Structure 1
Amino acid sequence: MAGRREPPLMRTGLGSGQPPSRGSRIAAAVAVGVTLGCVCAFFYPDGLISRSTDSALHWRRRADSVTCETSEEVTNLQSQLASLERKNADFRKQINELSMKLQMAGQGKNQALYSAGPFGTVKSLRTNPTVMPDESTNPRLANILQQVAVKKEIIVAVANSNVKQTLEMWFTNIKRVGITNYLVVALDDSIESFCKSKDVPVYRRDPDEGIDSIGKTGGNHAVSALKFRILREFLQLGYSVLLSDIDIMFFQNPFDHLYRDSDIESMSDGHDNMTAYGFNDVFDEPSMGWARYAHTMRIWVFNSGFFFIRPTIPSVELLDRVAGRLSREPKSWDQAVFNEELFFPSHPGYEGLHASKRTMDIYLFMNSKVLFKTVRKSAQLRKLKPVIVHLNYHPDKEARMKAVIEFYVNGKQNALDHFPDGSE
């Protein structure tokens, strides 16, 4: 018979030379674990990963202060943003100044490319940017202009003692209209004192031997030629000037009727729409046979006694050109030189002036030929109220100026009737 087998656990035992049983292995693992636990507890009483009570409290306190710290951060960010915006504004200003310097230096003319829009919608640039004001040019004049000018615009007249009575009529009418931004450039001490006594804004230039000698003794044309050199300082200071001869009567504020879209805005010597604004004049030369008719473009000249000039580079160049030519050509008429420099185009051996220009409305900015030859004879045109009337076509200026005031200010309808169309 076969003998009875015992269960494996019963067969194995320590010291028996047999492999340990499964129960023994479990017991040994438990013993080792307990031992390691005791060792760790002895060497790491706070545990292998510790977090102090203070640290836990720190995190809780930090959570409690999130709102306060966030508010401070927002304030700091807002302060930084404001600082960046100021710096950005400074950068933009510097960029504008650099762009202007490039323009003054004649650089960058072809560096920008433009795409043409749809047919009939394209328009070129008409208004040149103004120059950077430079008060160091004439600090005394700059101070006067800051007090007198309105929106950087001013009426300027140049006068000496030879025209004191006419000058008084000039500024009396300006005051009557209520214009405040005007200035008389006195060419001698007598006119300076006279203007101060009449409470008229006046500027006496610093001594200049060449200009002073002409200004004190010169006639109308000589004095008129000086204005181009004098006006340059106004433009350098950043002011737009409405230059006015003193044989001009004001009936409205001219600044309300300017377009300001050109370098030069001038009244015309033309007496109707064709002569003032331009026309196609046909020249006939029979000897040419089939080609006997040649078309020409005609326009009557700008009047150099009344024009609005903006402080732009082309405007400054115009004044320099005219003043330079008049100094080299003392017998030249300033109005002729003024128009030649404005209108003559570039051609071989000559570079024309690149200035934009506009002709003023001849019925608002009226010369005396328009008034005496046309307006006073028209029932409709007599009803119009001009901005100014310039007695440029007639030598008997004071008598006609007084009559013009009677007609437009006092309503005397026959005040102009006894004068001839022209001079006698």
Structure 2
Amino acid sequence: MAGRRDGLLTRPHGSPSRGSRIAAAVAVGILLGCVCAFLYPDGLFRSFSRVQYSADGSFQASVARVLTMVSLGMDLKANVIDVVFMCIDTLVKCETSERTSMLKSENEELKKQVSELIAKLKLTEQSVNQAQKQTLTLGEQPKAGPFGTVKSLRTNPTVVPDESVNTRLANILTKVAVRKELIVALANSNVKDMLELWFQNIKRIGIPNYLVVALDDETERFCNSNEVPVYRRNPDESIDSIGRTGGNHVVSGLKFRILREFLQLGYSILLSDVDIIYLQNPFDHLYRDCDVESMSDGHSNMTAYGYDDVFDEITMGWARYAHTMRIWVYNSGFFYIRPTVPSIELLDRVADRLAHEQAWDQRVFNEELFYPSYPGYDGLHASKRTMDMYLFMNSKVLFKTVRKDAHLRRLKPVIVHVNYHPEKFARMKAVIEFYVNGKQDALDPFPDGSMS
């Protein structure tokens, strides 16, 4: 306080002091009081009833009115008050409007900052929990704690990034990725329409960290013309001819080989097919506690998250009932994969099998993830998590269940994957109409299953 008092009292020569300004204000007040007493002997408030605003409500009109009345010899007192009140009214309105706009702007900025802080806090908590588990597991041999307190390690440590694998891709990822994460989609010109719908929705939400791996020149030009981040593989790669001419399943098989480089560079990837509509930012809904986090092809709690399926074999008599553990497969068109050794081993295993077998990539992906070790085979030790089936929704869940339930219709998923239906583009547009544009009957024309 002492420093502030000195600063106010010590002023350059010729500048008015705070005391002089106060004295001037008091003098002006006394002067105005005398004028009012002279002009309004019956009292100021009694005279207020005579005040009337100008027809257009403007300050300039009131001044003009006063001057006119002076020239005509009319009563000046009411018009003086008119001018004063119009000044006060104009100042109050301006201040209120500016203040309201400023408060709205500050409120939006605070909301944005709070959201960013919550996201950072969530990531920090996840990192702390993962670090604690890794320290317990990889450090000195621990003793088992009390009952119910023992937690095993599911979040494997990430690999050391190796930019020598692909320096060109490394430079692109440095610009595109956010917190070493990004969405990656593979596409050729065969899926141009769906690709456009795919990145339009990503842009609409405001997701900055996404990348299209173009498998032909036309797709690369298309992405560049629409300001979409794109990466074109080196043209001398032996698999490029497959990528240029192959259908959906062939392209799906390529992604496991291509994704390996992303993981080697130290980036976590949310692999995405292009028949997906984004309605929220998926990075706000990930747990990041496993090697692989995938959406399910299941359509209920049992099928998506696992259940005890009893097999009945009558000829066995007393032992006729055999219990089996069942879960519907993970969808290989939308999964989050961290840059860990088990994750890279998974990609290597799937890519190798697809190179030597005529097999569906999704089947191989799930077999390598879930099959245990047995004589002659070493299972993969990769941790996995099933995504929430109502947030990361497949089209069977949407068209068979959600659209028919009044409560579930109110939920807003993160993504909708049109994986169960061949008429993909039409259903993708209907999903946008329903969830984005609010057209409540947009999904009604479609049957539960495919149209043919």
Compute the TM-score of the two structures, normalised by the length of structure 2. 0.69
Which of 260, 265, 271 matches 1:232?
260
SS in 1 for 2:295: strand
Counterpart residue number, 1:73: none
> For residues 208 and 309 of structure 1, what CA distance do their matches in structure 2 show?
27
In structure 2, C-alpha distance between the alignment counterparts of 1:210 and 1:136, rounded to whole Å: 20
Paired amino acid for 1:245: D
How far apart are the structure 2 equivalents of 1:353 and 1:110? 19
Partner of 2:169: 141
Q: Counterparts of 2:139 and 2:237 in 1: how far apart (Å)?
A: 45
Q: Which residue in the other structure is 1:207 paired with?
A: 235
SS state at 2:334 partner: strand
Distance 2:194 2:174 in 1: 27
Matched, 1:335 2:355: no
Shift in Å at residue 113 of structure 1? 1.9
Question: What do residues 253-275 of structure 1 show as CA deviations (whole Å, max 9, x unaligned)?
Answer: 00000000000000000000000
Where do 4+ consecutive residues of structure 1 move more than 4 Å?
Answer: 109-112
Aligned partner of 2:346 in structure 1 is: 318
Q: Alpha-carbon deviations, 1:133-180, whole Å to 9, x = none?
A: 000000000000000000000000000011111100000000001001
Larger Rg: 1
Q: Which residue of 2 aligns with 1:132?
A: 160
Q: Does 2:419 correspond to 1:392?
A: yes
Instruction: State the match for 1:184 in structure 2.
Output: 212
Whether 2:308 is the aligned partner of 1:280: answer yes
Distance, in Å, in 1 between the alignment partners of 2:139 and 2:410 is: 52
2:193 paired residue among 154, 159, 165: 165
Residue of structure 2 equivalent to 1:150: 178
Q: In the alignment, which residue of structure 1 is the partner of 2:387?
A: 360
Matches within 5 A, 1:231-310: 231-310=259-338
Q: 2-side partners of 1:340 and 1:111: how far apart?
A: 32
Percent identity of equivalent pairs? 79
SS in 2 for 1:355: coil
**1:243 corresponds to which letter in structure 2?**
L
- Deviation at residue 211 of structure 1 after TM alignment: 1.1
Q: CA deviation digits over 1:312-349, x for unaligned, max 9?
A: 000000000000000011x2000000000000000000
1:408 equivalent in structure 2: 435
User: Take 1:314 and 1:386, find their aligned partners in 2: how far apart are those partners?
Assistant: 30
1:284-306 per-residue CA deviation (whole Å, 9 max, x = no partner) reads 00000000000000000000000
Which SS does the other structure have where 1:210 is aligned?
coil
- Per-residue Cα deviation, 1:201-258 (whole angstroms, up to 9, x for no partner): 0000112443111001000000000000000000000000000000000000000000
Post-superposition shift, 1:110? Answer: 9.3
Among 405, 408, 415, the alignment partner of 1:381 is: 408
- Which AA in structure 1 matches 2:146? P
Distance (Å, rounded) in 1 between the aligned partners of 2:347 and 2:196: 27
Pair 1:110–1:386, CA change in 2 (3 A) = closer
Q: CA RMSD in A?
A: 1.3
Secondary structure in structure 1 of the residue aligned to 2:266: coil
Distance 2:383 2:273 in 1: 23
Deviation at 1:126, TM superposition (A): 1.1
| Aligned-pair CA distance for 1:120 | 1.1
Give the equivalent residue in structure 1 for 2:26.
Answer: none
Equivalent AA in structure 1 for residue 437 of structure 2: N
**In structure 2, distance between residues paired with 1:279 and 1:202:** 41
Cα distance, 1:140–1:372 mapped onto 2, change above 3 Å: same
Which amino acid in structure 1 is aligned with residue 215 of structure 2?
L
Q: Distance in 1 between matches of 2:239 and 2:193?
A: 22
Equivalent positions of 1:53-202 (< 5 A) are 112-202=140-230
Distance 2:237 2:258 in 1: 14
Which digits, 9 at most, give the CA deviation of each residue in 1:346-388, with x for residues without a partner?
0000000000000000000000000000000000000000000
AA of the residue aligned to 2:383: S
CA separation of 1:206/1:417 partners in 2, compared to 1, >3 Å: closer, same or farther?
same
Alpha-carbon distance in structure 2 between the residues aligned to 1:238 and 1:157: 18
Could you list the runs of 5+ residues in structure 1 that have no partner in the other structure? 1-102, 104-108
